[in-house]
Structure formats: structure tokens, C-alpha cells
Amino acid sequence: MNPPDHGTLARAARLRVPLGFASGVVAVWFAQPNARTLAVGAAIACVGQALRIWASGHINKSREVTASGPYRWFAHPLYVGSSVMGIGLAAASNSIAVAVLIAVYLGVTIPAAIKAEEAFLRRRFGDEYDRYRRGGSMTGGADAERRFDVRQVVANREYRAVIGVALVLTALLLKLL
């Protein structure tokens, strides 16, 4: 069996957004939240969103490689944050079916997105990206001591993820009431 080409990975990675919306609707439909699961799940999802915000304030997506902020510890902190958000939403839903749906969604889309992104970064930045992945110093990349910049969060359109998680949590709250 041949590995998927870059185009196939890129298409699969792009599908994660529309699939995420569709999965969110299905998740809310089958969710059975109670006050405790909603509170715990919302707290977990907010931790994941906070990680995404922190990461997006340290990177100019597709234009640089950085080792600042959470990129010191995670190669893909935005995807780690998304995964934590998914765990939180699964907990908030109080439904095994929703938890399985979220696990399948994350298990398919996140690895595809990571593979497509890494292929892009290697093509774009070459040795610099490989040095970053090995934990070495970077020559033309962003400074590891860069400060968090909320303007970069906005430029990276992280508000879309904030709106998405807020909508799902609001829908779960309304379902609870």
C-alpha cells in the first residue's frame, strides 16, 4: 500500500473544518449533559482553547518556524489544544456515542493535518524546520524569546475556534435547561 501523496493529505486536512462543524451538530444532538459534566467538560475545553490562544500568539502561521511559547514543548500546540478541547466537549456531552464520534474525528483529522502541515513546512523551510523538530537552534526563524502578541492571535483568526467552542458549550447548556 502506497502512502498518501501531499495532495491527498492536504485535502483530508482541509476537510477537518467542515467535518468539525458537522460533528459538532451531531455531538450536540446526541449529548446528554448534566450540570457536573458540563462544568467539568467546559473547564477542560477552556484549557484547550487557552493553549490554542497562547500558541497562536506566538506564530505567524505558514510564514515562519518558531520555538517560542508552547512551541518550545509541543511541535503542534494548536492541535494539542484542539485535542484537549475535544476531550472537554466529550466530557461535557456525557455521552459515549459523542465521545466515540469526537475520538474518531480527532483520530482521523489531526494526524492528516499534522502530516500535511509537516510536509508543507519541510518544503517551505527545509533544514530550518528539521532543526526545530530536533530541538536545535534556528537561523532565520522567530526568536525563542518572542513575547505573546494578541494581534497575532487575531491575525491567525483564532477567534473562530473561540466562537466554535462557545457555540457548542452554549448549545449544551441550552440542552441541559
DSSP 65-101: ---SGGGGT-S-HHHHHHHHHHHHHHHHHT-HHHHHH
In the 8-state DSSP scheme, what is residue 142?
-
Domain-wise residue ranges, the chain: 6-176
Q: Is the pLDDT of residue 8 over 80?
A: no
The pLDDT of 96-113, averaged and rounded, is 94
Q: What is the pLDDT of residues 66-101, one digit of tens each?
A: 888 999 889 899 999 999 999 999 999 999 999 999
Fold classified for 6-176: Four Helix Bundle (Hemerythrin (Met), subunit A) (1.20.120)
The number of beta carbons lying within 10 Å of the beta carbon of residue 73 is 9
Residue 132 has a CB neighbour count (10 Å cut-off) of 20
- In the predicted structure, residue 6 carries a pLDDT above the cut 60: no
| Span of 2-16, 46-60, 95-109 with lowest mean pLDDT | 2-16
pLDDT for 1: 44
Angle, helix 96-125 to helix 127-134, in steps of 10 degrees: 130
